[in-house]
Structure 1
Amino acid sequence: MQGSIMMENFFNRLAGLPMTVTGGVFLLASLILMLTGVSVVFDPAWVTVFISGSPILYSALKRLLEERKISSALLISIAMIASICIGELFAAGEVAFIMAIGGLLEDRTVEKAKRGIRKLVNLIPVQARRVIGNEEETVFVNAIETGDLIRVIPGETIAVDGIIVGGDTSIDQSVMTGESLPVDKTRGDPVFSGTINCFGTIDYVATRVGNDSAVQKLVRMVSEAEQNQAPMQRIVDKWASWLVPLALLVAVLTYFVTGDITRAVTVLVVFCPCALVLATPTTIMAAIGQATCNGVLVKSGRALEIMGRVDSIAFDKTGTLTNGQLAVSDVILFSPHVDTTGFLRMAASAEMRSEHPLGKAVVDYARKKEIVLSSPDRFTMVPGKGIRARIDEADIMCGNVAHLADFDIMMDGNRLSVMNKFLSEGKAVVLVARGKECIGLIALSDTLRPAAKDMTGALGRMGTDVFLLTGDHIRTARYFARMAGIEKIGAGLLPVQKVDAIREMQRDNRVVCMIGDGVNDAPALKVADIGVAMGSMGSDIAVETADIALMGDDLSKIPYLKKLSNVTVRTIRFNIVLSMAINLVAITLSVMGILNPITGAIVHNAGSVLVVLNAGLLYDRKIVPDKAA
């Protein structure tokens, strides 16, 4: 076993870039000597054959003996050996070197790192507070059992899944659901491992621990999806089972008909699929280069190939279709005894000590309006409900309906109707009361990215269906979907439910692309046929899990990416047809005796150059997704 590993490492080093370049230098030296007619004892092409050819021979034998598979490497090995046997070292070295270059280009489409999984695991705290009777003890998370009572104070991360039995709080569940706002929680509500307790102290009973917890399920889903996604298979290997016998048959027939062994070897040389091998990786590298220049990071050639076949794109909402930042959208007054400036001054002054995102957004909005605020004389926060403060000798309450009800402040039908209207639009609402009267409300909302609607329209013109999959409430989902021009919606989805939704689409024979930005999107990004992450705002886990990242979070790049992928696939197909046509002509000329191993290798090399040049044109091609591709 140790010897096998050492041998594998040795041939991997030979196939690496430094050694391949070395082989190319020696091949060039052999060509110069051949063209100048200089005779030497040792042909430099032998070095190229060893460096570039031995890994190919090793791969061919390994796949033949261990996997019982005929690969393209077997045909190349036969051509090299045949060329050496008749003294055509340059032809053998040229074939080996071209194949080595093709292998290096394809190796650039390496698998993505697994660092995202480690970061998912790091979301879980090492220790937690377990309550036994009236005593509290610190224990390691892996020691927690189902039924244990766990206490979490503000700022701590939930260790295991459970149900709250005491206390009220607001919990940041963005890691699980992608919701932009902390979710108010009280007795009977579930909590999930990896989420953050923002404000109140709570006690909860552990219901799912260890591998059953929410975050561990995310880890498993990402890992399983990674394993289930096979690497891109070389197209020549798919065809090798008939390509190798066909080449041997043509070579043998040529020898028996003509009696010329040189013609037979030439057939083997030109039959080698070097141009075919280069057709895919060179096109992909050119496309990846163009994408990078346009702010799109494509991690593999497989990603571009599959993106070209995508017919359905599913979007997360928060941080993907939207900016992921709360902003005041509406200020509504219910009392004639206060103006907008005075109302905002009272509300923002009361919220000055609040750590809640809604309160901070209200304060930021007032400051942008250059409203002078006053520090509250007293400040009390009720987790999950709101705040109470003393401003200019008046009691100011900011919060939800339940918070105002605690102070016997009732909402009439008109006020409730206005509030419900904003809630139906997916907005958060802060009610503001002075004394015993609700004097107004402040509505806050995430904001749709400016390019969202044009982007979905462009995708529709390319025949691509668009879906919205979000952890937000259905009302919020419908509001933003309507603004973005999306008709197909899935709302209130946990990560596993997003995965289920994508798998359901795949069962309908759809090729699905998932676009998201959060940790909660990681499993869906991996299960989808292709995953795209919002790079600059997205979590590290989402970016590392995805196949493609939009480094500028510009949604207009999605139609560009789809069009680029379509063009890439078409270019690959053209290059394959071109390479096969060149090979067919070269085989015919070889059978006729017009080509010998050297000229055959040159023609064969010219085909490779044509394929590379055609692929290179893609780099500078202007991709405009303004119509169906």
Structure 2
Amino acid sequence: MAKTLKKINDFLAGLPMTIVAGVFLLIDLVPHLMEEFGGTEIHLSFLPFDPAWVTVIISGIPLLYLAIWRIIYNRGIAKISSALLICIAMFAALAIGEMFAAGEVAFIMALGALLEDATTNRAKKGLKKLISLAPTQGRRIRDGKEEMIPAEEIRKADVLRILAGETIPVDGKILTEETSVDQSIMTGESLPVDKTVGDEVFCGTINRFGAIDITATKVGKDSSLQKLIRMVEDAENKQAPMQRIADRVASWLVPVALLIAILAYAFTGNIVTGVTVLVVFCPCALVLATPTAIMAAIGQATKHGVIIKSGESLEKMGKVDTIAFDKTGTLTYGRLEVSDVIPFDSTLTEKELLTLTASAEAKSEHPLGKAIVARAKGQNLPLTESENFKMAAGKGISANVDGRSLLCGNEKYLTERGVSIDGQVHSTLEKLRTEGKASILVAEKDTCIGVIALSDVLRPEAKDMVSRLNAMHTSTVLLTGDHKKTADYFAKQVGISEVRAELLPEEKVQNIEALREAGRKVCMIGDGVNDAPALKTADVGVAMGSMGSDIAVEAADIALMSDDISKIPYLKRLSNATVKTIKFSITLSMCINFVAIVLSLLELLTPVTGALVHNAGSCFVVLIAALLYDRKFE
């Protein structure tokens, strides 16, 4: 029975039936207008019933269903809602034969519900995509033999072998060999992290080079990826549905309306006056104020490549006073490029050093090596086929180029091969580290002949964007999984003074929660899977929609489809204007209601003219909201 009622209610509350209700209400309006303002009485004798009855049935039944549902299931004062007040007015109008007035208040409420639904529907596919990243099997080593087993059968202390390119199925520690691990899913770092014996590796990250053996330390629900999934689930569950402003004031609105209507009838002796008071007291304009303004703002934002998923997030964005940024892929492009080519050998030019290094790295699979080769090819430098190419995973490579024996790698790799690193090299490396750059040392035989530095590329609009936010009295914070020096360098470049670096996803969440506990309204902007929990935990989450992961986009409330972070100040201004428009519309609607109540008490309005005034207030609210659509916020 309950399911049948729900289906009937949903059908009547849908857009097609609401349109039908509006058409019949319009048909009924014509004779009333002629009678009230033209003096000519017109009867719709060709119809066997009053057209407004269709509107009352179509729009009134869902309204009555909602009012009763809230009385039964809501707690305390929340049982008294705006739907209850409008139902009372509707039945009062029906009792004295004022069909149009009854149909009008029900129809305006139905229209408001449709507008609100149109702004709050949200896709929730991100969690499924996150779960799909979880490895389904692992290669266990037992008694010297390898066996593939389901991930859920892996137990703590099991020894697992991970081949190059495979996803690590559990958290663990490396027992043998060295490698580089792509752990961008967890930290957002743009570079694979070099790992050696004793280092920790995380579930869901990818082994990039060679085979490693690990011992499982955290399995099943305790693994990092599963914690990440749970954080997204928990944050999703914490999201409260947007509560209508009209319902928040209904606890006093309903008794006040009834009291005034009863007093009006008692003093005038005219039941029509009491009913008119109830009709004009209905908070339909109040109900429309929020969804119409939000719909216009969402339409405006869509034109600018900003997708806002819900009205609640737009309202909250208008109250945000702190914006937290991820670094990689957000403030930066998330791609490595050669930034410095520094020869230590006076006989070498920068182009010669780049040509030698690119020739040696041409067979490398490491992202740093590939970036060096890409730069050389971009400058049309002639590369030579290398010989005796060898790669030490996570350290560097050796190769012969034009008869020259070259080593390219990190400082540890070169010193292990007997290359002396003097003070000049050390000071250069330290300077590059403070600038947030990764370095490849190049040596010939036992001498370091140069260094090539690579850096993530800062978005050119980032500095101006932060400056504009500061001018709007909005604080900015950098939350990143990158190294502290790298984070400090990029934060200084764009003008962010508050930096929190080397953070795992759960630590980003903790930092967001700490900011909120300090009384700050926080917006988080990120692009990676690792940012999803923080995006959900923040008051508002904004994802880089074009380059960002599907999971980050689904987890966020707002997506920048063009990855243009210069849109952030625009988004903040639009949100501020939307909140102001909503407040103004609410104030205006309440003023119109107050004037209408006074006119009703003076018996200058009837239920029909009162309904028309009530309708005019709703139209004003919609018109004011519509002005948001074309307003300039640049």
TM-score of the aligned structures, taking structure 1 as reference length: 0.97
Is 2:572 the counterpart of 1:549? no
Q: What are the within-5 Å matches in structure 2 for residues 42-61 of structure 1?
A: 42-61=49-68
Shift in Å, 1:117: 0.8
Query: C-alpha distance in 2, partners of 1:127/1:31?
Result: 68
Q: Distance in 1 between matches of 2:391 and 2:185?
A: 25
Distance in 1, matches of 2:498 and 2:351, equals 41
Contact 1:319 1:538 in 2 (8 A): yes
Q: Specify the alignment match of 1:490 in structure 2.
A: 500
Equivalent residue for 2:585, pick from 563, 567, 575: 575
Equivalent of residue 27 in structure 2, options 26, 29, 44: 29
Among 63, 74, 98, which residue is 2:70 paired with? 63
Give the deviation of 1:523 after TM superposition: 0.5
Give the SS at the match of 2:102.
Answer: helix
Give the whole-Å Cα distance in 1 for the aligned partners of 2:69 and 2:349.
82
RMSD of the alignment, in Å? 1.1
Q: Does 1:4 align with 2:11?
A: no
Q: Report SS of the residue matched to 1:374.
A: coil
The worse-fitting range, judged by mean Cα deviation, of 55-64 and 391-400 is 391-400
> 2:599 matched to 1:589?
yes
For 1:32 and 1:254, locate their aligned partners in 2 and report how far apart those are by CA, in whole Å: 29
Whole-Å Cα distance in 2 between the matches of residues 92 and 500 of structure 1?
A: 52
1:372 to 379, 382, 391: 382
Tell me if structure 1 keeps the 8 A contact 2:21–2:55.
yes
Which stretch of the first structure deviates more once superposed, 27-36 or 384-393?
27-36
Amino acid at match of 2:220: G
* 1:133-532 map, 5 Å: 133-532=143-542
Match of 2:630 in 1: 620
- 1:265-324: CA deviation from partner (whole Å, max 9, x where unpaired): 111111111111111111111111111111111111111111111111110000001111
Residue identity in the other structure for 1:308: G
Distance 2:199 2:178 in 1: 10
CA distance in 2, matches of 1:397, 1:33: 93
1:111 deviates by 4.6
Report the counterpart of residue 38 of structure 2 in structure 1.
none
Match of 2:39 in 1: none
Contact 2:341 2:353 in 1 (8 A): no
The answer to whether the 8 A contact 1:112-1:545 is kept is no
2:17 pairs with one of 6, 16, 19: 19
Question: CA separation in 2, counterparts of 1:444 and 1:572?
Answer: 49
Contact 2:154–2:219 (CA under 8 A) maintained in structure 1: yes
3-state SS of 1:410 partner: coil
Amino acid at match of 1:561: L
Question: Which region of structure 1 is more displaced relative to structure 2, 206-215 or 6-15?
Answer: 6-15
State the one-letter code of the partner of 1:28.
L
Determine the C-alpha separation between the residues in 2 that align with 1:368 and 1:230: 52
Q: Secondary structure at the match of 2:347?
A: coil
Secondary structure of the structure 1 residue equivalent to 2:302? helix
CA distance in 2, matches of 1:133, 1:399: 36
Using the TM superposition, name which of 144-153 and 375-384 deviates more: 375-384
Deviations 1:571-609 (A, max 9, x none): 100000000000011111111111111111101000100
> Aligned equivalents of 1:288 and 1:30: distance in 2?
34
Letter in 2 for 1:86: I
The alpha carbon displacement at 1:381 in A equals 1.1
Of 78-87 and 22-31, more deviation after overlay is shown by 22-31
**C-alpha displacement at 1:339, in angstroms?**
2.1
TM-score, normalisation: structure 2: 0.97
3-state SS of 1:108 partner:
helix
Correspondent of 1:38 among 15, 39, 44: 44
1:29 partner amino acid:
I
C-alpha contact (below 8 Å) 1:152/1:197 kept by paired residues: yes
Take 1:128 and 1:584, find their aligned partners in 2: how far apart are those partners? 70
CA offsets per residue over residues 421-441 of structure 1, 9 Å max, x none?
A: 101211000111122221101
State how far apart, in whole Å, the 2-side matches of 1:389 and 1:90 are.
89
Unaligned runs of 5+ in 2: 35-41
Contact 2:90–2:101 (CA under 8 A) maintained in structure 1: yes
* Alignment gaps of 5+ in structure 1: 625-629
Percentage identity across aligned positions? 60
Aligned residues: 622
Task: Letter of the 1:18 partner, please give it.
Answer: P
Cα displacement string for residues 122-163 of structure 1 (whole angstroms, at most 9, x for unaligned residues): 111211101112111000000001110111011111111111
Q: What are the superposed Cα offsets for residues 479-518 of structure 1, whole Å, 9 maximum, x if unpaired?
A: 0000010110100000000011111111111111111010
Residue aligned with 1:446, SS: strand
Shift of 1:37: 3.0
Counterparts of 1:24 and 1:561 in 2: how far apart (Å)?
35
- State the Cα deviation string for residues 335-365 of structure 1 (Å, max 9, x = none): 1232222211111011111111101100000
CA distance in structure 2 between the aligned counterparts of 1:65 and 1:401, rounded to whole angstroms? 71
